[in-house]
Structure 1
Amino acid sequence: MKKLILCSFIACVMFACSSAKKANPTAAVSDTTKVTDTTQLAGSWELNYVAGSTAVDSLYPTKKPVINFDMAAKRVSGNTGCNSFNGPLMVTGHKIDFTGPMALTKMFCTGQGETVFLDNLKKVNTWSVSDGNTLNFIMGDIAIMRFTKK
């Protein structure tokens, strides 16, 4: 009885292994294209628009937030207009995620600028670059933050 069960198990495993899907070479090309698209993110970007805010200049009177992408090291860093931050860059194609752990300095900040920046950053799920110098952070289908290439 044990031999019958063992033989049945081995036959099932062999059948499962032989019916695995083969890799699609065209899928690999499209994935490579998505990866090369992320090079558009590289460099420094300065915030110029936040959804729901009256004006970026009034929200950040002394220093506008900046975000930097180091594609080689897969790191993101920047300044919230008050404190500095850095962490791992989690980007695949045009999907981006800022919900992971980030290091943040803890200086006292006046106003709501830093809170608005960080809260909106966590809502972003995709990105796009238009005209080579405008970075859009998108939630769903709405651009909630825009940056200008520095």
Structure 2
Amino acid sequence: MKTIIFVMLFSVSALTACNMRKHDQSAQKLTGQWELNYITGPRIAFNGLYPNAKPIINFKENPEEINGNTSCNGFSCKLTIDGNKMTIAEPGPMTMRYCEGGGEKVFLDMLKKVNAYEVKENTLTMLQGDLPLMRFTKK
């Protein structure tokens, strides 16, 4: 009986460790700085939304928060990652400069809709279900 309990506990521990390793590897792909190169929704040209600079997102090695720039104002948000699922909370306090092009609002609105992601080579795609909302290039 003790042997069966030991085997079961060992199996659960091994599976948990494998799952944690899978989660860590998935999140590690995000580490670094990413620059926006595509956003869905607006009928304005991408360069019209972001005439001076493109939004940037920074992920740390074990991300619980992201930070970056909306194209003119700095921001940070709480982040939850589970496998390829991603939840981004409302941004905390931000700088409040006037931004040309209207892209800041579009970018922040899209961040709230993200519920998944995928990373292929140097491209991060943030998704809502299967629909790509934003695409970033690793810098």
- The answer for the alignment partner of 1:52 in structure 2 is 41
- The answer for the alignment partner of 1:125 in structure 2 is 115
Q: Distance in 2 between matches of 1:101 and 1:79?
A: 11
- Alpha-carbon deviation of 1:101? 4.8
Q: Distance in 1 between matches of 2:37 and 2:45?
A: 9
Does the 8 Å contact 1:87/1:103 carry over to 2?
A: no
Q: Distance in 1 between matches of 2:34 and 2:82?
A: 19
TM-score (norm 2): 0.82
- Alpha-carbon deviation of 1:57? 1.4
- Alpha-carbon deviation of 1:72? 4.3
- The answer for the alignment partner of 2:23 in structure 1 is 34
- Alpha-carbon deviation of 1:28? 3.3
TM-score (norm 1): 0.76
Q: Distance in 1 between matches of 2:128 and 2:58?
A: 20
Cα 1:128–1:73 shift into 2, 3 Å: closer
Q: Distance in 2 between matches of 1:73 and 1:123?
A: 19
Specify the code of the residue in structure 1 equivalent to 2:128.
M
1:97 correspondence with 2:87: yes
Q: How does 1:14-25 map to 2 (within 5 A)?
A: 24=12, 25=14
CA shift digits 1:76-115 (9 cap, x unpaired): 1100011100133322221111124523111122332000
Does the 8 Å contact 2:80/2:87 carry over to 1?
A: yes
Structure 2 unpaired stretches of 5+:
1-7
- The answer for the alignment partner of 1:106 in structure 2 is 96
1:70 correspondence with 2:70: no
Aligned residue pairs, count: 129
Please tell me whether Structure 1 or Structure 2 has the larger radius of gyration of its CA atoms: 1
- From 87, 99, 123, the counterpart of 1:134: 123
Q: Distance in 2 between matches of 1:123 and 1:106?
A: 22
- The answer for the alignment partner of 1:148 in structure 2 is 137
